[in-house]
């Protein structure tokens, strides 16, 4: 996947059509659907791919997965509204020449009907379509815990990205949420939601280490969510990800935060240059993003490759570097 070119004109035309007809950008969820859309269902998916092509010879995989339970249900709506700003910064400001974005949603595998939703890596306006297919669950388990570990398992073992496999460069994974992950990846949940059969559970830190071999992984905790500012949540994720935990004072700044984080990671800008870019486009998020990214570094050195995990009870269909 990942063909085509993003067009703000196409996005604006679709937005005008929805406004004129009274249709929602999230028509699937707003229609009352509570099961995963077939296009986003992870079950039985071998891989979601980010591939080089003549059109995009230097693809960079960028995955954005967000909690859609409780107060976090507004996150995809903000992302959808600000897609032009996100793509505009990445492309027009030259942060990444060939970005390929994947959107997905995280719920709670212990109780939700749509605990994991994963789109394709795309470079064009199909990004908007994938967002519109997401079920905004709004439930969750009420235990300050969601199935982030299940999402990381999918990204570690069911994605294949050329930036890593051909060039030894990690992609980017952004998880937007306000709760903790469960302590382990559970075989029963993996089989029910994804279809793999695991011989034994995988510890949380082990799956975090695995996904970080392929992706620079960030956790964004936005203001306005149920547990924003909760030091227990921040400490939990900082223990796992170190400086790659971003406390964001304003949810509306999430797209700018993602774009500048990628720009920093690609050594396309330093933080001051990125903040100047935000001023250039008239963003109101400059101060918020500056504060949020003050701790983030830009270490994107080539990574060593390793052998594939050995705990799948069955043949591995994809070679993972």
Summarised one tens digit per residue, pLDDT across range 162-216 is 999 999 999 999 999 999 999 999 999 999 999 999 999 999 999 999 999 999 9
Q: Is residue 303 part of a domain?
A: no
pLDDT band, very low/low/confident/very high, at 316 (cuts 50, 70, 90): very low
Per-residue pLDDT, 301: 47
Q: Is residue 145 part of a domain?
A: yes
At 109-160, the pLDDT tens digits run 999 999 999 999 999 999 999 999 999 876 544 578 999 999 999 999 999 9
Work out whether the CA dihedral 244, 94, 59, 101 comes out positive or negative. Answer: positive
Beta bridge partners, 171, equal 215
Task: Say if residues 105 and 117 touch (Cβ distance below 8 Å).
Answer: yes
Q: How many domains does the chain have?
A: 1
Whether the per-residue pLDDT at 306 is higher than 50: the answer is: no
At 17-60, the pLDDT tens digits run 999 999 888 888 888 888 999 999 999 999 999 999 999 999 99
pLDDT band, very low/low/confident/very high, at 71 (cuts 50, 70, 90): low
Per-residue pLDDT, 155: 98
> What's the CA gap between 277 and 273, in Å, rounded?
6
> What's the CA gap between 84 and 305, in Å, rounded?
34
Q: Largest Cα–Cα distance of the chain, in whole Å?
A: 53
The owner of tokens 């001051």 is 272
Question: Which CATH number covers residue 275?
Answer: 3.40.50.410
Whether the per-residue pLDDT at 221 is higher than 90: the answer is: yes
Q: Is residue 273 part of a domain?
A: yes
CB neighbours (10 Å) of residue 46? 10
At 88-102, the pLDDT tens digits run 899 989 999 999 999
Mean pLDDT of 219-244: 84
pLDDT band, very low/low/confident/very high, at 310 (cuts 50, 70, 90): very low
Per-residue pLDDT, 30: 83
Q: Is residue 307 part of a domain?
A: no
Q: Is residue 306 part of a domain?
A: no
pTM: 0.89
φ, ψ of residue 82 to 5 degrees: the values are: -110, 15
Per-residue pLDDT, 226: 57
Q: Is residue 298 part of a domain?
A: no
| % the chain with pLDDT above 70 | 88
Q: Is residue 131 part of a domain?
A: yes
Q: Is residue 309 part of a domain?
A: no
- How far are the Cα atoms of 44, 134, 187, 209 from residue 315, in angstroms, in the given order? 14, 31, 16, 22
Q: Which residue has the higher pLDDT, 316 or 285?
A: 285
Per-residue pLDDT, 24: 87
Whether the per-residue pLDDT at 298 is higher than 80: the answer is: no
Per-residue pLDDT, 64: 95
Domain interval for residue 206? 8-292
Mean pLDDT of 242-251: 93
């Amino acid at each position: 996947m990942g063909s085509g070119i993003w067009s703000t004109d196409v996005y604006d035309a679709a937005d005008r059509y929805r406004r004129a007809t009274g249709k929602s950008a999230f028509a699937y969820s707003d229609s009352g659907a509570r099961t995963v859309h077939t296009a986003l269902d992870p079950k039985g998916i071998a891989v979601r791919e980010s591939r080089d092509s003549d059109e995009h010879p230097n693809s960079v995989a960028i995955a954005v997965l967000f909690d859609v339970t409780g107060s976090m249900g507004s996150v995809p709506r903000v992302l959808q509204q600000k897609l032009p700003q996100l793509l505009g910064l990445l492309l027009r400001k030259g942060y990444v020449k060939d970005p390929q974005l994947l959107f997905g949603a995280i719920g709670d595998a212990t109780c939700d009907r749509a605990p994991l939703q994963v789109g394709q890596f795309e470079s064009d306006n199909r990004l908007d379509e994938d967002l519109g297919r997401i079920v905004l669950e709004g439930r969750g388990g009420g235990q300050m815990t969601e199935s982030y570990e299940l999402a990381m398992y999918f990204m570690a073992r069911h994605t294949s990205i050329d930036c890593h496999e051909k060039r030894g460069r990690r992609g980017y994974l952004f998880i937007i949420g306000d709760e903790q992950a469960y302590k382990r990846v559970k075989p029963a949940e993996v089989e029910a939601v994804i279809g793999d059969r695991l011989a034994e559970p995988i510890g949380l830190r082990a799956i975090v280490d695995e996904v970080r071999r392929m992706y620079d992984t960030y956790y964004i905790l936005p203001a306005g969510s149920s547990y924003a500012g909760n030091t227990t949540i921040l400490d939990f994720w900082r223990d796992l990800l170190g400086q790659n935990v971003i406390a964001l004072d304003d949810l509306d700044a999430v797209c700018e935060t993602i774009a500048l984080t990628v720009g920093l990671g690609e050594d396309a800008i330093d933080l001051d240059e990125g903040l100047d870019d935000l001023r250039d486009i008239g963003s109101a998020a400059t101060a918020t993003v500056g504060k949020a990214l003050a701790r983030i570094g830009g270490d994107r050195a080539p990574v060593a490759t390793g052998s594939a995990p050995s705990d799948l009870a069955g043949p591995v269909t994809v070679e993972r570097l």
